[in-house]
Structure 1
Amino acid sequence: MSGRPTPHLPSQGAELGTAAPFCPQLGDLVADTAKDGRVGVVVTLPGEGAATYHLRPPGGGAEWSAPADASTLKPVPAKVTHATLLVTDAVYDRRAKQVSLAVLVHYEDGGSSEAALILTPSDMEQLHARTGRILADHEWLPGRAP
Structure 2
Amino acid sequence: MTAATGHHFARPGNRFWPVLHLSGFTPRLLKPSEQGELLSYGLGITNVVARATARADELTAQEYREGGRLLGAKVERLRPRWLAVVGVTAYRAAFDDRKARVGPQERTIGASRVWVLPNPSGLNAHWTAATMAEEFGRLREAARDA
TM-score normalised by length of structure 2 = 0.21
| Bigger share in strand | 1
User: Which structure carries more relative contact order (alpha carbon 8 Å, separation 6+)?
Assistant: 2
When normalised by structure 1's length, the TM-score is 0.21
Higher helix share: 2
Which structure is larger by alpha-carbon Rg, 1 or 2?
Answer: 1
